[in-house]
Amino acid sequence: MKTFYRLVGLAIALVLVGFTQPAWAANLSNGEKIFNANCSACHVGGNNVIIANKTLKKEALEKYGMFSLEAIKTQVAKGKNAMPAFGARLHTDQIEDVATYVLEQSKKGW
């Protein structure tokens, strides 16, 4: 009987894993909302209205060593140059979401 309950428990766990989003997966829809609310004034369409050559497009991100999730998260959280820091305004999961959104959009060409 113990084996039966273990198998049932394992089956339930596998079903739940298959139908739920992992906790570590970023939410691109939320990332887009955060981007539109906080970033789009300066980065509409992946551009940069302050420093024109430092866009969020793949080529520029690669050129300036920013084409990684960690680099973008750090930039969002801590800011740099003309970009303000958002670490005090956004939660860690929000920074993860918006950074993932930016990286995915850059891969798509905005």
> The whole model's pTM is what?
0.78
Domain encompassing residue 98: 25-108
> Could you read off the pLDDT of 15-60 as tens digits, one per residue?
454 544 444 579 999 999 999 999 999 999 999 999 999 999 999 9
CA angle (36 as vertex; 101, 110 as ends), nearest 5: 50
Asked if residue 8 is part of any domain, the answer here is: no
The total number of structural domains in the chain stands at 1
* pLDDT tens digits, 56-68: 999 999 999 999 9
User: Is 5 part of any domain?
Assistant: no
